[in-house]
Amino acid sequence: MKIEFLVKRAIEGDKVALKGIIESIQDDVYYLALRMLANPEDAQDAAQEILIKVITNLSSFEFKSKFKTWVYRIAANYLISNKKIKDKEPTFDSSKADLESDLEEPAELISCPEYSAMLNELRIFCTISMLMCFSPSYRMVYILGDIFELEHQEASQILGLSKDTYRKQLSRARIKLIKFMSSTCGLANEHASCSCEWKLKGAICRERVNPKYIKFSDITNPTYSEIQQRAKETQKELKTVTLQRSITHYKYPSKLSELLEVLINQ
């Protein structure tokens, strides 16, 4: 069933249709929030707020664009202006210095049963966190273009930019991230000083990786060794986008679905 049909039914008061709409967009909204905020808890809060905005503004949708484009526009406006983002922005220079510090042989960690999961956790954490070095607007440009792989026309419409301006901003963001990862990340460049193996001890000390609470690395993600091999087989200019896309499209937390179901039935 086309989502636009569900939207018409929902505007008329059909709660089953409204639930169907939320179920069809919630995963994409959550994943967009996660890639923008880099923190699962913050992303949950943001996704909830965005979905509530969608629900309460549904009658303003004019069917002049795809419904999901309209949803992404609401999400993008909310996330770009989110104060939590602006309060946490690192720079590429500070991130490079951070990644090249606290490097130490993993030693006894290698024998831990959780070693592979911890390496993957660190790999995902770092890959997501790198995008925080962009300003919120450029981060959104990169996410829509290279991670969500939207057409330039749709992405520019979401962001209220001309197609040419969007294309130029995406190109600048790509060049910046490729340069950073190629000079810093051991997965993108085997000669770079930082590697997940040598960074792991420091990451645990800084509580970026918690062996007892693995937030990102699960069975839906490729393993660290799989990503390592994939990176070796990928052409140099494609390594950055390959690594950025090698993170599972996380599902919307079920407890938030239950909360929204309560809101719908009020």
Going 160 to 162 to 165 to 167, the CA torsion angle's sign is positive
Distance CA 201, CA 125 (A): 14
pLDDT at 219: 77
Rounded CA gap, 193 and 185, in Å? 7
Q: Is 79 exposed, middle or buried (0-12, 13-18, 19+ CB in 10 A)?
A: buried
* Average pLDDT of span 196-223: 89
Q: Rounded mean pLDDT of 44-70?
A: 93
- Does residue 262 carry a pLDDT above 80? no
| Cβ neighbours of residue 35 closer than 8 Å, sequence gap 6 or more | 128, 131, 143, 147
Nearest to 201 by CA among 191, 216, 211, 193: 211
pLDDT in tens, 121-148: 999 999 999 999 999 999 999 999 999 9
Tell me the pTM.
Answer: 0.92
pLDDT, tens only, 217-234: 777 888 899 998 998 889
Residue 193: what pLDDT?
87
pLDDT score recorded for residue 263: 65
Q: How far is CA 132 from CA 65, 73, 139, 250, in A?
A: 30, 20, 7, 18
Report the C-alpha gap between 60 and 118 in whole angstroms.
46
More confident residue, 69 or 262: 69
For 225-236, give the DSSP string. Answer: HHHHHHHHHS-G
Q: How many helices (H) and strands (E) does the chain have?
A: 14, 0
pLDDT of residue 2: 86
| Overall average pLDDT of the 48-69 stretch | 92
Which pLDDT band holds residue 87 (cuts at 50, 70, 90)?
A: low
Whole-number pLDDT of residue 136: 94
**pLDDT tens figures, 144-196:** 999 999 999 999 999 999 999 999 999 999 999 999 999 999 999 988 989 99
Helix (H, G, I), strand (E, B) or coil at 185: strand
Tokens of 86: 């602006």
Q: Identify the structural domains of the chain with CATH numbers, from first to last.
A: 3-264 (1.20.140.160)
